[in-house]
Amino acid sequence: MGGNQTSIPEFLLLGFPVGPRIQMLLFGLFSLFYIFTLLGNGTILGLNSLDSRLHTPMYFFLSHLAVVDIAYACNTVPQMLVNLLHPAKPISFAGCMTQMFLFLSFAHTECLLLVLMSYDRYVAICHPLRYSTIMTWKVCITLALTSWTLGVLLALVHLMLLLPLSFCGPQKVNHFFCEITAVLKLACVDTHINEAIVLAGALSVLVGPFFSIVISYVHILCAILKIQSGEGRQKAFSICSSHLCVVGLFYGTAIIMYVEPQYESPKEQNKYLLLFHSLFNPMLNPLIYGLRNKEVQGVLKRMLVKERTS
């Protein structure tokens, strides 16, 4: 086996097994989604920076989520678009490893940010009188920085375990980007440790945080039902339902891909789930928060009216 091991300088991403016409259609469609992702999340960031009414912990964490979503899309979508136009164009080994590291970093960070957002809603609804003393700016900044740091460190663990592996031909990655489980299949050495770390990482950043969010929202639901004011109850439901939509979309697809018995689910199914996870989720997040959140809608309307009258 030692004689068959080679150092692969580049990989070929197989992408989607479709004809040239469908590839051009997907290129146009995905380009449109990519633009909507950048515009939607950019709008969230712009509104948050321009209007002081959104300078609250909830929108602080939402801004970090928007940054992650933009980074998510910029990390995977351009390469996918290039592959649709030039299917035979390879990606270098260094480029592949960088893309995988960034994807894992952003994925881990988003998992932790969603937990912070649920904790923020828990404190706001279940302990409203203590909210300003618990969710101080110092606490919020520390929590956000911790999420980013842990996300990068967890991704670094996967990268450090993968780099020493030897890879054999064919160098074809059955995915539209350098996804870790797809790259591991090309190794010509035993990857059981890597697979175990991937599963352990998925359990730690997906299942644990997901159940903590569920527990938080059970307490939130109980607190909402006790609110006497109909308007206050409706506002609380609106904000929390937006967050639950994002949580359901993100964790639902991620758990199916990485916590389901590893490497037994159909490859194509995981590919399309990850497409939804990395392209549609970042596009839908600002739409969900913007369309269902009256504060964001109000700020946007005031900005548009001010622009027209100026």
- Is the domain 10-303 a CATH 1.20.1070.10 member? yes
48-59 pLDDT, tens digit each: 888 777 888 988
Q: From first to last of the 310 residues of the chain, give the pLDDT tens digit.
A: 444 444 567 888 888 888 888 889 999 999 999 999 999 999 889 888 887 778 889 889 999 999 999 998 999 999 899 888 887 788 899 999 999 999 999 999 999 999 999 999 899 888 989 999 999 999 999 999 999 999 999 999 999 999 998 887 678 888 889 989 889 988 888 888 998 998 888 888 888 888 899 898 888 888 887 777 777 677 677 767 777 877 888 888 888 877 765 544 446 677 888 888 888 888 888 888 766 677 777 777 777 776 666 6
Provide CB contacts within 8 A for 62, sequence distance 6+: 44, 48, 117, 289
162-218 pLDDT, tens digit each: 999 888 767 888 888 998 988 998 888 888 899 899 888 888 888 888 889 989 888
Confidence (pTM): 0.88
Domain limits of the chain? 10-303
